[in-house]
Amino acid sequence: MASPEGDKDKLNKLRSRFKEELPAKIADIEFCWINVLKNNSKESLHAMYRLVHDLSASGVALKYPQVSELARTIDVALLPVVEGEERIGDELKDVLDDYLKALSDLDLDDDPEVEVESSDQLLGSGYKLRTEDFLVYLLEADREISEDIADQVSHFGYRVEIFHSFIDLFTSLSDDRAPDVLVMSVNIPGVEITPAEAADQIRKISYNDLPVVFLSDNDDIEHRLMAARSGADAYFVKPIDVHEMIDQLDKLTGEEKVDPLHIVIVEDSATQSLYYSSILERAGMETSVINDPLEILTVMEEVSADMILMDMYMPKCSGMELAKVIRQFPAYASIPIVFLSAETQIERQLDAMSLGGDDFLTKPINPPHLIRSVAIRAERARILRTFMITDNLTGLLNHTRIKEQLMHEVSRAGRKKGVMTFAMIDIDHFKNVNDTHGHHVGDRVIKSLARVLQQRLRRSDYIGRYGGEEFAVVLPDADAELATRVLDEIRKNFGGIRQHSPKGDFAVTFSGGIATFPECKDATELALEADKALYVAKERGRNCIVKFSK
């Protein structure tokens, strides 16, 4: 078996050769395109299509996503012309010219070498836990305190490097490595430099806007004011509440990512839909294009749409008819539908909106207007939908929404003849936590488990608060063995977190039960059997994961 290092070297050599040959490949495509426009040459058209198709495939294989995406867009735009379904009009010509120019303007010289993932990062089936992407430098003279902070923070996926003196810290900051955050104590024995001077020196050495968090023994206004004047991004008083620190680290590292808006475009013209898609994607949005309106429900099941941009007049059905069908599904009731049409009569526009539409954009629409109109409506709808589907305490999906997502994923797995897992998780002895430490501490325990689940699971997994101290997790494309390993790793991490309370610190564990599709035939059976497995985990002494078996 080839080593990861050997695979990496081989891949990077292939990438280097591809980078050298790319200008010639693009020149061949442009030559074909000129011949198509001048002579209407079918041979050149087919040759151009093959070249673009091969370029897209090479971009994927050699991990050049920009090349692949641009070539793939040209590929999709050309296909209706190659198959004789459309002609090359001015609009299509402008779109292809635009993408060919973007392709020729690409600069791959600064592209880094790719990394080949080692087997210990993977748990199987492409399932990858959140890796320790963020490095924290911790300056603290007290070894016991520093090791305790490092241990607690590591449970939330941060890598911590400890320093006990300014000299060691300054030396490390002078190296090429740069931390994402610096956490430093302002009480270092035997040091004459002030915290303000230290922070200023640190920023000079690091040559960037390095976030700095102060740790202090003092909670008075004078010391807090000193920290503010020194440019500290956060201030914590010892003993540290690790949950509050994680909140700040997440904010300072940008760990709280926002997914791009996803727009579904329903337009029977491949040229028009490509035009709208290219404009919106260049503005940072994601799009799903539907040229056959009867495929709308299949696509809606596959994506999480923030808005539907729909043509009013299509051969198989009108936009008004399709909007009425979409509104028959409660799950899609809050997704805005914006019609696109050359229709200018206000009465007709109002009629269309009364049948399920939310707004009307008149063709032709210039790109800035399209981007702004779509972004405003989609953002507003996302915010409103977030309030409707999430739990107030944790920000996870609420009970109703996680059940809907379970049904959705079961349906998807059934269509694709795939596998998925549903897990029920319950915090052990949670009543004792509330009775001993109070409900506010109990709420913080619930939030800490929610955060660990969010950080350790994939972005494609769905996490919900089922009720009280009970959570539900939907893991698409994960079998029982894989789900057990993943959740067991999270269980171990969560059990190592120190929960803070005025009555004394303590640790909490959780139990879990899992069931899989297609072993369980539907969402109802999955929920029932996962709950039974959770009950078995409780009977076995808690703090374990049990999988359902018939």
Residue 109 is assigned to a structural domain of this protein:
no
Q: Contact, 499 vs 506, CB < 8 A? A: yes
Give me the sign of the Cα torsion angle 522, 525, 528, 533.
negative
pLDDT, position 178: 75
Q: Looking at the structure, tell me whether residues 414 and 495 fall in a common domain.
A: yes
Picking from 389, 420, 448, the residue at the C-terminal end of a domain is: 389
Q: Contact, 520 vs 548, CB < 8 A? A: yes
Q: Give me the number of domains the chain comprises.
A: 4
Picking from 83, 104, 125, the residue at the C-terminal end of a domain is: 104
* End-to-end CA separation in angstroms for the chain: 38
Determine the structural domain holding residue 482 and report its residue range. 399-547
pLDDT, position 268: 85
Q: Give 207's strand partners.
A: none
Cα gap 468→444, rounded to integer Å: 12
Q: Looking at the structure, tell me whether residues 426 and 539 fall in a common domain.
A: yes
Q: Looking at the structure, tell me whether residues 339 and 474 fall in a common domain.
A: no
Q: Contact, 273 vs 263, CB < 8 A? A: no
CATH number of the domain that residue 15 is part of: 1.20.120
Q: Looking at the structure, tell me whether residues 407 and 530 fall in a common domain.
A: yes
Q: Looking at the structure, tell me whether residues 92 and 149 fall in a common domain.
A: no
Q: How many CB atoms lie within 10 A of CB 233?
A: 16
Q: Looking at the structure, tell me whether residues 157 and 202 fall in a common domain.
A: yes
Residue 117 is assigned to a structural domain of this protein:
no
Tokens read off for 222: 């004078």
Residue 111 is assigned to a structural domain of this protein:
no
pLDDT < 70 regions, the chain: 1-11, 61, 109-133, 174-177, 190-192, 206-208, 255-258, 342-357, 550
CATH number of the domain that residue 464 is part of: 3.30.70.270
Q: Contact, 458 vs 420, CB < 8 A? A: no
Count H helices, E strands: the chain?
19, 15
Q: Looking at the structure, tell me whether residues 271 and 160 fall in a common domain.
A: no
Cα gap 301→290, rounded to integer Å: 13
Q: Quick one: which of 548, 247, 272 has its CA closest to 423?
A: 548
Q: Quick one: which of 270, 274, 266 has its CA closest to 300?
A: 266
Residue 378 is assigned to a structural domain of this protein:
yes
Picking from 234, 253, 272, the residue at the C-terminal end of a domain is: 253
> Does residue 274 sit in helix, strand or coil?
helix
Q: Quick one: which of 345, 300, 302, 344 has its CA closest to 323?
A: 300
Q: Quick one: which of 218, 136, 143, 154 has its CA closest to 498?
A: 154
CATH number of the domain that residue 230 is part of: 3.40.50.2300
Q: Looking at the structure, tell me whether residues 308 and 186 fall in a common domain.
A: no
Q: Looking at the structure, tell me whether residues 355 and 441 fall in a common domain.
A: no
Tokens read off for 262: 């996803």
Give me the sign of the Cα torsion angle 312, 318, 319, 321.
positive
Residue 114 is assigned to a structural domain of this protein:
no
Cα gap 27→23, rounded to integer Å: 6
Q: Looking at the structure, tell me whether residues 195 and 300 fall in a common domain.
A: no
Residue 301 is assigned to a structural domain of this protein:
yes
DSSP for 180-222, please give it.
SEEEEES--TT--S-HHHHHHHHHHHHTS---EEEEES--SHH
Q: Looking at the structure, tell me whether residues 197 and 336 fall in a common domain.
A: no
Q: Looking at the structure, tell me whether residues 248 and 296 fall in a common domain.
A: no
Cis? peptide before 330, omega within 30° of 0: no
How many CA atoms are closer than 13 Å to the CA of 239, on its beta-carbon side? 11
Instruction: Classify strands 510-517 and 420-427 as parallel, antiparallel or unpaired.
Output: antiparallel
Cα gap 430→500, rounded to integer Å: 15
Q: Which helix (H) or strand (E) holds 347?
A: helix 346-354
Residue 129 is assigned to a structural domain of this protein:
no
pLDDT, position 131: 44
Give me the sign of the Cα torsion angle 315, 316, 321, 324.
negative
pLDDT, position 449: 93
Tokens read off for 332: 């899609």
Q: Quick one: which of 211, 215, 212 has its CA closest to 236?
A: 215
Q: Quick one: which of 319, 404, 318 has its CA closest to 358?
A: 319
Residue 493 is assigned to a structural domain of this protein:
yes
